[in-house]
Amino acid sequence: MRRTCLLYQSDRPIPYLSAWQWQKQLVEERKQARREGIDLPDVLLLIEHPAVYTLGQGSSLEFLKFNLEDHNIECHRIERGGEVTHHAIGQLVAYPILNLDYHQHDLHWYLRQLEEVIIQVLAKFGLSSQRIQGLTGVWINKSGQNQKIAQVGIKVSQWITMHGFALNVNMDLSGFDRIVPCGITDCQVCNLNQFVPDVRVEQVKIAIAQTFAQIFNLEMQLPLSTSL
């Protein structure tokens, strides 16, 4: 029997701080429910953000090419792993709130499953992609050069997950020029629409939701209220 997962989406960009707060609320609700012997369904938030930078909890500031005191640039240090990354409209960000008690108590497995979701989504659009040994995320080889199309960074507390992955669909990639993406020197980034010019964000949302459900053996359900 498939476990239920509530799918929250939005047709408008969601401010980063709003989504971050909501994730923390969902995680705490599931921790409290567990203490009370209640099993709440898993959740997948699938959204876009206005331009923002996020630093992992151990990220080095040396990978920033801007001043943190510049109030025109939104930047937050958060509790996920990994180095600095960039979000913007045209990039789909997936935040799974999963209770790994019902999946696997294995963070390595979980990271590889998230990457597998991305790899299979890209395959649905006719693209071959791969992991790189020792790194997280997903790359596409273009003219002999690996270009990163998706970033992965998670936080797991008491086996409840938060944060997740970001897939570049048709975003303005120039925002990555202000950082060393994921702390990888000479890291090149790319968009899905560079390979599939007519791709639409809505198509990719559907592919992510379907593939995520298959990989994690979930039954996706739209909540009674889908507003974010």
The one catalytic residue among 5, 182, 187, 190: 182
Paired tokens of 103: 């999946």
Among residues 226, 162, 152, the alpha carbon closest in space to that of 25 is found at: 162
CB 56 within 8 A of CB 162: no
CA 9 to chain CA centroid, Å, is 13
User: In the annotation, is 5 catalytic?
Assistant: no
Q: Residue 108 in 3-state DSSP?
A: helix
Q: Residue 87 in 3-state DSSP?
A: strand
Map tokens 């990888």 to a residue: 184
Cβ neighbours around 10 below 10 Å, total: 15
* Catalytically active residues, by annotation: 182
